[in-house]
């Protein structure tokens, strides 16, 4: 599993970056955080094993 945090200066920029990563197989982890300096942050995870948890009944 890989973990990263996406940071952007606006809501629109964050949405664009997150959507690009979702299209590459990444998933969001938790909600959006907004820092005191006004930047937006979203944690993202990428699983090496792409097994669908709904097919196996196991949580990732």
E strands present in the chain: 2-8, 27-34, 40-46
49 vs 44, residue with greater confidence: 44
CA 20 to chain centroid, in Å, comes to 10
Inside any domain, residue 11: yes
In a domain, 31, yes or no: yes
DSSP letter, residue 24 = T
pLDDT given at position 54: 57
In a domain, 56, yes or no: no
pLDDT digits (tens, 9 = 90+) for 3-41: 999 999 999 999 999 999 999 999 999 999 999 999 999
pLDDT of residue 48: 85
Please state the pTM of the whole predicted model: 0.79
Task: Tally the domains of the chain.
Answer: 1
Domain presence at residue 59 = no
Residue 41 falls within a domain, yes or no? Answer: yes
Residue 36 inside a domain? The answer is: yes
Please check whether residue 60 lies inside any domain of the structure.
no
Asked if the model's pLDDT at residue 57 lies above 60, the reply is: no
5 versus 50: the higher-pLDDT residue is 5
């Amino acid at each position: 599993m890989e973990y990263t945090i996406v940071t952007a200066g606006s809501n629109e920029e964050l949405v664009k970056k997150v959507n690009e990563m979702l299209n590459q197989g990444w998933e969001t982890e938790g909600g959006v955080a907004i820092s005191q300096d006004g930047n937006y942050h979203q944690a993202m995870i990428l699983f090496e094993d792409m097994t669908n948890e709904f097919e196996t009944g196991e949580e990732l």
